Amino acid sequence: MRVLIISDIHANLAALEAVLADANGQWDYVWCLGDVVGYGPDPNECVALLRTLPHLCLAGNHDWAALGRLDIRTFNADARKAVHWTQETLTQESIAYLDALPTTFVIGPYTLAHGSPREPVWEYILDPLIAALNFPHFETPYCLVGHTHTPIMFKLVSDRGDTDAVQPVYRSAQQLNGRRTIINPGSVGQPRDSNPEAAYAILEPEKMIWEHRRIAYPISVTQTKMRQIEMPERLIARLEHGW
């Protein structure tokens, strides 16, 4: 069995389609770690495409923002503008789908959350210290998260809680070695690690084999749609720079 791991699509249909084309059907199931919508121009299209796939999906902070479930005063002005546009654009069908998403999921040796096991919708696991603080908050060996839009692994390397950050090596399948690990596949639709290519991963869940991947997608297709709906220029420009 192979699982396509995706996160932070952010309503970027061109990026999601590129990931699906690159993965080429060589998977049995999709695990999506949240933020299907927000920022991008295709929220309904991304929800609809996801719904055609055998999958499970978690709720992200932007999904909740689009549902009006949280106070977006902490979002910056550009993000708020994108939230308002998304709220006006989502169909009842898309809203019903997003409304039903859970915040965490446990499957075999894997715990899934959008942000972190400690604060599933909100917390950013940006560094080994924050990762270390999260290991006591899940029981399985492995935890998969998104939210930072940066592919990385945090491995617990001692009983005292020492945690190492391991940078991704793309298209190189690696055996998870039993050490407790928090793994982020990166973002499909808005990468923030200075690499504009869509990020995803393939997991063989029983064999515990993980592979980080990147794939180029037609960024200008998404940018043109964003200009047509008058999204803030900063949100449009960031896609080609990966931040």
Q: Applying CB under 5 A, which residues contact Zn ion?
A: 8, 35
Helix (H) or strand (E) segment spanning residue 55: strand 55-57
As measured in angstroms, the least distance from the Cβ of 152 to Zn ion is 15
As measured in angstroms, the least distance from the Cβ of 39 to Zn ion is 8
CA-closest candidate to residue 4, choices 216, 24, 115: 24
**Phi and psi, residue 65, nearest 5°:** -60, -40
* C-alpha dihedral, 224 to 229 to 234 to 239, nearest 10°: -40
Which of 35/123 has CB closer to Zn ion? 35
User: Which residue's C-beta sits nearest to Zn ion?
Assistant: 35
As measured in angstroms, the least distance from the Cβ of 103 to Zn ion is 14
Taking residue 79's Cβ as centre, other Cβ atoms within 10 Å add up to 18
As measured in angstroms, the least distance from the Cβ of 24 to Zn ion is 25
Which of 128/191 has CB closer to Zn ion? 191
Which of 2/69 has CB closer to Zn ion? 69
HSE toward the beta carbon, residue 7, CA cutoff 13 A: 30
Which of 208/231 has CB closer to Zn ion? 231
Terminal alpha carbon distance of the chain: 33
Which of 17/35 has CB closer to Zn ion? 35
Ordered alpha helix ranges (H), the chain: 13-23, 43-51, 61-66, 77-89, 92-99, 128-134, 219-228, 233-241
As measured in angstroms, the least distance from the Cβ of 178 to Zn ion is 30
